[in-house]
């Protein structure tokens, strides 16, 4: 099993460009999450999907959109990238919804917006 | 004040030492997680606990719900334990609130 995979691993964008970060899990998990990690701050939840067909905003959703394409895949889209979105992005999944279940993390995507 | 505070922020130890990392939180929680972030960036869940104590190999995690405090202990530390250790609390719904992490360096 690959667990949680993310593409790309690295990306450099110019301000105003758009891109989609891809995430897939092969553990048949119901819930998936997108986080960002910035220096001096803890991981922060951007969006989550408690189950296929549902998505909800997290702590820092502005400037992002998500799509739960199917049970395996959860994508994060930046429509018009800004330098403030320079960060490391992690996707995670868990078997059941709710923060009282173990979350499995992808390897991360390092995004730089110039 | 952050909802989750970890101490120390940085910790350097000699191989073989007993290590303690602390986590304090200020809100009611349903569970507390300890995670490890490797130097390469990958994040792995170590423990999830809502009461008492859990042990896995040389790692021990404890939680005191009344005092809103948890500790992660590493016995007989080794250079491969060098990583960032992150505490996270489950508050409402599907949301985890994370601490900033403790950078641990174990020297041979």
- pLDDT tens profile A90-110: 999 999 877 778 899 999 999
Mutate to test the interface with A, among B3, B94, B97, B101 (most CBs of A within 10 A): B94
Assess contact for A51 and A110: CB atoms under 8 A: no
Number of H helices and E strands in chain A, helices first, is 0, 11
Note whether A99 contacts B95, CB cutoff 8 Å.
Answer: yes
pLDDT tens, residue by residue, A4-37: 999 999 999 999 999 999 999 999 999 999 999 9
User: How far is B13 from chain A, CA to nearest CA, in Å?
Assistant: 22
CA–CA separation, A69 vs B55, rounded Å? 38
User: How far is B25 from chain A, CA to nearest CA, in Å?
Assistant: 14
Question: What is the band of A41 on the pLDDT scale with cuts at 50, 70, 90?
Answer: confident
Q: Which of A105, A47, A68 is nearest to B88 (CA)?
A: A105
């Amino acid at each position: 099993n690959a667990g949680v995979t993310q593409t790309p691993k690295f990306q450099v964008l110019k301000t105003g460009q758009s891109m989609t970060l891809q995430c897939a899990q092969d553990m048949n998990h119901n819930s998936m999450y997108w986080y960002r990690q910035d220096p001096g701050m803890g991981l922060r939840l951007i969006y989550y999907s408690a189950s296929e067909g549902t998505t909800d905003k997290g702590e820092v959703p502005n400037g992002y959109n998500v799509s739960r394409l199917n049970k395996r895949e959860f994508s994060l889209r930046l429509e018009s990238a800004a330098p403030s979105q320079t960060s490391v992005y992690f996707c995670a999944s868990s078997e059941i919804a709710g923060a009282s279940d173990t979350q499995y993390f992808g390897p991360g995507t390092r995004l730089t917006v110039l | 004040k952050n909802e989750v505070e970890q101490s120390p922020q940085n910790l350097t130890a000699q191989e073989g030492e007993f290590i303690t990392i602390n986590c304090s939180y200020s809100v009611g929680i349903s569970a507390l997680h300890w995670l490890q972030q490797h130097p390469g960036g990958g994040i792995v869940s170590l423990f999830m606990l809502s009461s008492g104590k859990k042990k896995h190999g040389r790692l021990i995690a404890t939680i005191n719900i009344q005092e809103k405090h948890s500790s992660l202990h590493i016995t007989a530390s080794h250079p491969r334990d060098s990583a960032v250790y992150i505490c996270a609390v489950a508050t409402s719904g599907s949301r985890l609130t994370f601490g900033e992490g403790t950078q641990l360096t174990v020297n041979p």
